Chain A
Amino acid sequence: MSASAPAAARTHEAAISARGIVRDFEAGQTTTRVLHGIDADIRSGEMTYVVGESGSGKTTLISIMCGILWPTEGEVRVFGTDIYALSDTELVNFRLKNIGFIFQQYNLIPSIDVAANAAVPLIAGGMGVSEARERAKALLDKLNIADQADKLPSQLSGGQQQRVAIARALVHEPRLVVCDEPTAALDARSGRRVMDLLREVAVAEDRACIIVTHDNRIFDLADRILVLEDGRVIHDGADMPEDQ
């Protein structure tokens, strides 16, 4: 386990409770089952990795867990709320208030500056642009890129863009942070630096952090690892199994 993981932050309360998750994808006449009745819990105060080979269903699982993909069967409770019992609008608002996303390709808006990009969840929540930018700048300062606040994303390096994406995920203080392949495009050293940064800013007593990755260079930084294979959880523990 990571030596930097703050023990006090681990409360082990279930942030996400997924039960009997099944997801089928249809293509013409063919139906493919991607997830086969998965039961999983994600706890607050922990950095949980969801790992597995390509096609194992990890992206589908976290998409369902964070309320952006409907399961074919099963129930997902996020901080006690049965999110798929909510109406569409309620679910979107739930995501806006409770979930922060860090995408593999960052998906920053190229034509607005860094501060505005980081402020998007606040603006979407109805906050005025200037106030939202100021709040975002404070977080950018914490991430050591406040001096880039007025630049466009295209003027930043990949690592700096990732920090902006992290700022955008955290600016509205969500209780769940979902991170997709954060180290895929980084070398080992930069990857570990990003993970340390994420642990510092995204893991807290009342906040859960899920990271989807297949980067075995950072497995040792996880508090908990869920291993998926062919749509089933084959391991749920603090360390990677020997044979992986």
Chain B
Amino acid sequence: MLWIAIRMLTGDAQKFYGLLFGIAFSTLLITQQLTIFVNLVERGASGVYNAPEAEIWVMDPVSRTTEVNYAMPSTALDEVRSVEGVEWAVPHLRAPASVRTSTGDLEGVQIIGVDDATLIGLPERLVIGDKRILYQPDTVLIDDFGVFNLFGPEEEPIGARLELNDQRAVIRGVTDSIPTFTSQVTLYTTYSRALNYVPGTRNRLTFVLAGVGEGETAQAVAARIERQTGLKAVTRPQFAQSGIDFIIENTGIPLNFGITVALGFIVGVAIVGLTFSLFIRDNIRQFGALKAIGVTNAKIVRMVAAQAAMVGSIGYALGVVGTVAFIWAFSGNPTFKGFYIPWQIPLLSLAAVVLILALTGWLGLRSVLSTEPAAVFR
């Protein structure tokens, strides 16, 4: 009977394609919007991801994220270094600044000062140049999104001169970084040079990045740092999560994306529900005849379930492929740099599709199951 069910479904091309469109559109909307949401909120942790060597982030107790921070006295670095289990500790400066470009434009940037000796705090890879170029005077590295933001397609960023707090800065490399949540231009330089680039305040050490010794865990060492120094020390995953949580708690993004995802679900239910119920209604006499002939309600349920499974699996696959195509198509755009589809999202949209089909299938089935076989004689 499943063969008949599938033929009944595919035989009505208009409704079949309508159902496919409904499921595919819903899947696309839910998967694509959730993907953008997850990737966008993960930008809240980009500062942590862009400094891969740091196993522990130490900061003033009021600091919350890489962007929302409060500077510490420079003595904090020595305090951290004195804690047992700390293999190494380096200063890390993050501060906003205004940059004047060669054309005279003013642009808000983020300055990141990394350890002068080890360069710990830089992103893992450079798109152009070498990390050691930072040892040259006045050198800054710019993140790849910053190139897109500050320079036109024909302009060459390498060698470009910038004015930072009345100081000269020359771009000599481009980092391969995950853009920040605010898509702000980021300039990397050495810690000592960064102190000159950002307006002077009494305390300017925003973070101490630390590594743990052999046989120690980041969690244990972080706890020890907190106990001994009174500073806040968190592991890399914890600090990344703090950045994500901050975006979720302090922006309207979850609500906005939540509304779109809900709309995707509602549109799916509406299109699929309407088309499925029309399909069932158009075939109600055939279903009634099958019941009279001797097809049990259980078989009818299996027939409708097979129809729903077929339309669901094809529509879902189309929706997921559509999302992959979307991400692929925009992968060259710096705004979408590093976007990926976490495996949980297709599972979530699959659950939504199953729910849509279960709901609409049940609504359609009600009329079939309640149809008396005798109705075919009327």
Q: Which residue numbers of A lie inside 8 Å of B, CB to CB?
A: 59-60, 62-63, 68-69, 88-89, 92-97, 99, 101, 103-105, 107-112, 116, 120-121, 123-125, 129, 168, 180, 212
Contact B10 A92 (CB under 8 A): no
Q: Which residue numbers of B lie inside 8 Å of A, CB to CB?
A: 1, 3-4, 7-12, 283, 285-286, 288-299, 372-374, 376-378
Q: How far is the CB of B86 from chain A (nearest CB, A)?
A: 73
Contact B11 A101 (CB under 8 A): no
Measured between beta carbons, the chain A residues less than 8 angstroms from B296 are 88-89, 92-93
Given contacts A107-B376, A124-B1, contact A101 B289 (CB under 8 A): yes
Contact A124 B374 (CB under 8 A): no
Contact A63 B290 (CB under 8 A): no
For residue B13, which residue of chain A has the nearest CB? Answer: A111
For residue B286, which residue of chain A has the nearest CB? Answer: A109
CA distance A59 to B378 in the complex (A): 8
Contact B292 A109 (CB under 8 A): no
Known: A101-B289, A109-B7, A123-B1. 16 other contacts (CB 8 A): A59-B378, A63-B377, A68-B291, A69-B374, A89-B296, A92-B295, A95-B292, A96-B294, A108-B286, A109-B11, A111-B9, A112-B4, A116-B7, A124-B293, A124-B299, A125-B294
Contact A112 B7 (CB under 8 A): yes
CA distance A62 to B285 in the complex (A): 18
Contact A101 B292 (CB under 8 A): yes
Contact A103 B377 (CB under 8 A): yes
Contact A68 B289 (CB under 8 A): no
Q: How far is the CB of B107 from chain A (nearest CB, A)?
A: 63
Contact A93 B294 (CB under 8 A): yes
Contact A68 B285 (CB under 8 A): no
Measured between beta carbons, the chain B residues less than 8 angstroms from A125 are 294
Q: How far is the CB of A53 from chain B (nearest CB, A)?
A: 16
Q: Can you sample 13 A-B contacts with CB below 8 Å?
A: A59-B374, A68-B291, A69-B373, A88-B296, A92-B296, A96-B295, A103-B292, A107-B285, A109-B8, A110-B11, A111-B7, A123-B3, A124-B294
For residue A66, which residue of chain B has the nearest CB? Answer: B292
CA distance A63 to B377 in the complex (A): 8
Centre residue among A111, A112, A116 by max chain B CB count within 10 A: A111
Contact A109 B377 (CB under 8 A): no
Contact B7 A68 (CB under 8 A): no
Q: Which 10 A-B pairs have the closest CB atoms?
A: A111-B11, A96-B294, A107-B289, A68-B373, A69-B374, A63-B374, A95-B294, A68-B374, A112-B7, A59-B377
For residue B285, which residue of chain A has the nearest CB? Answer: A107
> CB within 8 A of B294: which of A59, A63, A92, A109?
A92
Contact A96 B11 (CB under 8 A): no
Contact A109 B373 (CB under 8 A): no
Measured between beta carbons, the chain B residues less than 8 angstroms from A63 are 374, 377
Contact A68 B11 (CB under 8 A): no
CA distance A108 to B290 in the complex (A): 10
CA distance A110 to B286 in the complex (A): 9
Contact B292 A68 (CB under 8 A): yes
Measured between beta carbons, the chain B residues less than 8 angstroms from A168 are 293
CA distance A103 to B298 in the complex (A): 23
Measured between beta carbons, the chain B residues less than 8 angstroms from A69 are 372-374
For residue B10, which residue of chain A has the nearest CB? Answer: A111
Contact A68 B372 (CB under 8 A): yes
Measured between beta carbons, the chain A residues less than 8 angstroms from B299 are 124
Measured between beta carbons, the chain B residues less than 8 angstroms from A92 are 291, 294-296
For residue A105, which residue of chain B has the nearest CB? Answer: B285
CA distance A141 to B288 in the complex (A): 27
Contact B294 A107 (CB under 8 A): no
Centre residue among B3, B4, B9, B298 by max chain A CB count within 10 A: B4
Q: How far is the CB of A38 from chain B (nearest CB, A)?
A: 16
For residue A97, which residue of chain B has the nearest CB? Answer: B294
Measured between beta carbons, the chain B residues less than 8 angstroms from A108 are 286
CA distance A168 to B297 in the complex (A): 20
CA distance A16 to B314 in the complex (A): 49
Measured between beta carbons, the chain B residues less than 8 angstroms from A68 are 291-292, 372-374, 377
CA distance A99 to B291 in the complex (A): 12
CA distance A168 to B288 in the complex (A): 15
Contact A111 B12 (CB under 8 A): yes
Measured between beta carbons, the chain A residues less than 8 angstroms from B298 are 89
CA distance A160 to B3 in the complex (A): 24
CA distance A240 to B376 in the complex (A): 27
CA distance A225 to B57 in the complex (A): 97
Contact B289 A112 (CB under 8 A): no
Contact B3 A62 (CB under 8 A): no
CA distance A66 to B40 in the complex (A): 65
Measured between beta carbons, the chain A residues less than 8 angstroms from B377 are 59, 62-63, 68, 103-104, 180, 212
Q: How far is the CB of A69 from chain B (nearest CB, A)?
A: 4
Measured between beta carbons, the chain B residues less than 8 angstroms from A124 are 1, 290, 293-295, 299
Measured between beta carbons, the chain A residues less than 8 angstroms from B290 are 120, 124
Given contacts A89-B296, A124-B294, contact A107 B288 (CB under 8 A): yes
